[in-house]
Structure 1
Amino acid sequence: MDQTSKAIMIIDDNDDDFEATERALRKSSNLANPLIRCSDGAEAWDMLNNQDNLLPALILLDLNMPGLDGRRLLARIKQDERLCVIPVVIMTTSTREEDVSQCYAMGANTYVRKPVSWNEFSEAISRLHDYWFHFALLPKQV
């Protein structure tokens, strides 16, 4: 299976942010990757732990969600032997140094502030996709 056919899981409670991410992926990369959308951490955790589901090759994770937020979900993913190899990119509006440091300490692979303008957002998504699916080598079990 080539890298572009592997799924991207987007975990974000904001419909507008999800739709913008989806549009940016489709616009910038002629997206061949299937997208999995989860609107909160609990839904994502359930989906990741369902043995019938294929695991995503990449997770784009918002931090600030109700219930099981991105920080707690990140900790669970990175402490799970089966899931810890999945790259997790934090996509959030927070630029707080405590959030950045905490997420990297818990195993986040990248931390990106969501750009405000559409052009910057689209460019950031395009570069993320190119990096993770054209340059980085992903583990075979993902």
Structure 2
Amino acid sequence: MTREAFEDNKVRNTLHVVTNGVDAMAFLRKEGDHAGAPTPDLVLLDLNLPRMDGREVLAAVKDDPELRRIPVVVLTTSEAEEDVLRSYSLHANAYVTKPVDFERFIDVVRQIDDFFVSVVRLPRG
């Protein structure tokens, strides 16, 4: 759904998708099949990932001196206050609940893209 929203919305960033938390960490650390992966400017992270859930990925990213500067936006279906609190305590940069309606989801993706591309100044590479 996120990939489709990026395509429909003509989002200015390149989207790389992994399907589980183990692959997410391998991508971010440029390991194995992801040895040539670029360092992302932003991570959109679902909490409900298989093999290593999003909370574990977030903790690992923010504990890693090489990765912790990358902004992480938790983009998930959970509206649970405990997930919001835990994500921020693990140093998520934002927590966004995915809307169920696709048109609203496209709007949310556009707003995230606009904010992190046009408004926020991020550290270089």
TM exceeds 0.5? Answer: yes
Residue aligning to 2:107: 123
CA-to-partner distance for each residue in 1:80-125, whole Å, 9 max, x for gaps? 0010000101011111111000000101001011101112111111
Residue aligning to 1:135: 119
Corresponding residue to 1:65 among 25, 49, 60: 49
Unaligned 5+ runs, structure 2: none
SS across alignment from 2:17 = strand
Separation in structure 1 between the aligned mates of residue 11 and residue 108 of structure 2, nearest angstrom: 15
Residue aligning to 2:14: 34
Residue aligning to 1:25: 6
Q: CA deviation at 1:73?
A: 0.4
Q: Do 2:71 and 2:93's aligned partners in 1 also have CA atoms closer than 8 Å? A: yes
Q: CA deviation at 1:47?
A: 1.3
SS across alignment from 1:35 = coil
SS across alignment from 1:76 = helix
TM-score, normalised with respect to structure 1:
0.80
Separation in structure 2 between the aligned mates of residue 36 and residue 122 of structure 1, nearest angstrom: 17
SS across alignment from 2:83 = helix
Equivalent residues, number: 121
CA-to-partner distance for each residue in 1:44-96, whole Å, 9 max, x for gaps? 11111126432100100000122110000000000100100001010111111
- Greater per-residue strand proportion: 1
Q: Do 2:11 and 2:113's aligned partners in 1 also have CA atoms closer than 8 Å? A: no
Q: Which residue identity is paired with 1:75?
A: A
Unaligned 5+ runs, structure 1: 1-19
Q: Which residue identity is paired with 1:21?
A: T
Residue aligning to 1:5: none
Q: Which residue identity is paired with 1:38?
A: V
C-alpha RMSD over aligned residues: 1.2
Q: Which residue identity is paired with 2:43?
A: I
Separation in structure 2 between the aligned mates of residue 93 and residue 128 of structure 1, nearest angstrom: 16
Give aligned-pair identity as a percent: 38
Separation in structure 2 between the aligned mates of residue 135 and residue 114 of structure 1, nearest angstrom: 21
SS across alignment from 1:120 = helix
Residue aligning to 1:3: none
Q: Do 1:25 and 1:129's aligned partners in 2 also have CA atoms closer than 8 Å? A: no
